[in-house]
């Protein structure tokens, strides 16, 4: 029987990767970290512990398992190519990015030829849940490989769902984000309509959260990041557009008509083009505000009585 992995390489120390690596340390794993940004890995090791790899291959050297937590499948493919010589037969790659299922399946096949297993395990829950270690983790892969990864995943999340073969976790993540994005968009439009009618948006959020209109955005985003005008939830607008594009591609590949999903993706992509790079996904509200000619929370004139 293969021993449980203890030495872990973590590639990617972004908004999610950093707290996830920190929780692996707290759980007693030996970790080596790497990030494309100069000095990021060294800062992690200095502040929290672990070993800072000089690059991704160095962080992966000698690891029982390697976690990739990167923006897109293009970066993942480049990292896999770079670390491949450092991976021993029998090691495990845990691809936790919100990537493209087709690319991940190709990478898994290439690694399998060298006796290296790959599973996908994207996460949902955002930065706060990453910090608490109670993420939802959506997995795809062989049962034996998932069993090997479970001690690692249990240090990162409290809800682990096996969705199917390799790539299934990423497909589910993209579709989850499609539902989340649709809920955010329609909720913002409802707040704008209500404010123009004369309703208080903050009161509207309270009512939605006590009623059937409740969703993740009404609970955890509207007051916290939109009405507050903070727009800093920690997940990029460009990444949401990427995930929605993946969801639409899954629909196309399966021959499923997706008219609402296509419109939803177009709205999010339009916001990204209008607002420019570096925006938080909650800044989508600004596109809806421009279309409505109103700003949420600002006094309205000409309200109905």
Could you tell me if 144 and 226 lie in one domain? Answer: no
d(CA 108, CA 141): 9
Give the residue-averaged pLDDT of 226-232. 97
| The predicted structure's pLDDT at residue 298 | 75
- Domain holding 85: CATH number? 3.40.50.720
Q: Do 15 and 157 have their domain in common? A: yes
Which of 166, 184, 199 lies at the terminal end of a domain, its last residue? Answer: 166
Residues 268 and 281 in one domain: yes
Q: Are 206 and 284 contained in the same domain?
A: yes
Domain co-membership, 125 together with 52: yes
Which residues, listed in sequence order, are joined to residue 135 by a DSSP beta bridge?
157
Residue 11 lies in a domain: yes
The total of structural domains in the chain comes to 2
Share of the chain above pLDDT 70, in %: 97
Residue 277: predicted pLDDT? 95
Cβ contact 237:284 at 8 Å: yes
The model's confidence at residue 127, banded by pLDDT at 50, 70 and 90, is very high
Residue 304 has pLDDT above 60, yes or no: no
Structure confidence by residue, pLDDT tens digits, 36-76: 999 999 999 999 999 999 999 999 999 999 999 999 999 99
CA 13 to chain centre: 13
Identify the domain containing residue 266 by its residue range: 171-292
What is residue 131's predicted lDDT score, i.e. its pLDDT? 97
Do 113 and 149 lie in one domain? The reply is yes
Specify if 298 maps to a domain.
no
CATH classification of the domain holding 253: 1.10.1040.10
Residues 48 and 83 occupy one common structural domain: yes
Tokens read off for 135: 């993420």
Is 2 part of a structural domain of the chain?
no
Same domain, yes or no, for 93 and 233?
no
In this predicted structure, the answer to whether residue 201 has a pLDDT above a threshold of 70 is yes
Which positions are annotated as active-site residues? Answer: 173
> Which of 114, 136, 166 finishes a domain?
166
Q: Confirm whether 125 is domain-assigned.
A: yes
Confidence grade of residue 4 (pLDDT, cut at 50, 70, 90):
confident
| Per-residue confidence (pLDDT) for residue 5, from 0 to 100 | 85
Residue 2 has pLDDT above 70, yes or no: no
Last residue of a domain, one of 131, 166, 201: 166
Residue 305: band (very low, low, confident or very high) from pLDDT cuts 50, 70, 90: very low
pTM for this predicted structure? 0.92
- Percent of residues, the chain, with pLDDT higher than 90: 95
Instruction: Assess whether 149 and 194 both reside in one domain.
Output: no
Residue 181 and residue 152 share a domain: no
One domain for residues 207 and 116? no
Give 74's Cβ-side CA count (13 Å radius): 1
Residues 157 and 224 in one domain: no
pLDDT of residue 173: 97
């Amino acid at each position: 029987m293969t021993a449980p992995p203890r030495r872990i390489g973590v590639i990617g120390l972004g908004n999610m990767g950093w707290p996830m690596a920190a929780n692996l340390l707290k759980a007693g794993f030996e970790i080596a970290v790497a990030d494309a940004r100069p000095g990021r890995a060294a800062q992690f090791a200095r502040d929290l512990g672990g070993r800072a790899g000089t690059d991704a291959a160095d962080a992966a050297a000698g690891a029982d398992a390697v976690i990739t937590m990167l923006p897109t499948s293009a970066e993942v493919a480049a990292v896999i190519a770079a670390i491949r010589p450092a991976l021993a037969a029998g090691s495990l790659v845990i691809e936790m990015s919100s990537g493209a299922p087709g690319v991940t399946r190709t990478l898994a096949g290439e690694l399998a030829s060298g006796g290296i297993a790959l599973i996908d395990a994207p996460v949902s829950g955002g930065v706060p849940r990453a910090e608490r270690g109670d993420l939802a983790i959506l997995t795809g892969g062989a049962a034996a490989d998932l069993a090997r990864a479970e001690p690692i995943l249990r240090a990162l999340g409290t809800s682990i769902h096996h969705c199917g073969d390799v790539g299934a976790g990423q497909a589910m993540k993209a579709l989850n984000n499609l539902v989340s994005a649709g809920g955010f968009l329609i909720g913002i439009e409802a707040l704008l309509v209500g404010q123009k009618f004369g309703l208080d948006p903050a009161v509207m959020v309270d009512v939605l959260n006590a009623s059937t209109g409740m969703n993740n955005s009404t609970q955890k985003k509207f007051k916290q990041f939109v009405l507050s005008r903070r727009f800093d939830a920690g997940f990029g607008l460009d990444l949401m557009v990427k995930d929605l594009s993946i969801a639409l591609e899954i629909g196309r590949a399966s021959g499923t008509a997706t008219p609402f999903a296509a419109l939803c993706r177009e709205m999010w992509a339009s916001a990204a083009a209008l607002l420019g790079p570096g925006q938080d996904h909650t800044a989508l509200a600004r596109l809806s505000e421009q279309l409505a000619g109103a700003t949420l929370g600002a006094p309205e004139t000409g309200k109905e009585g």
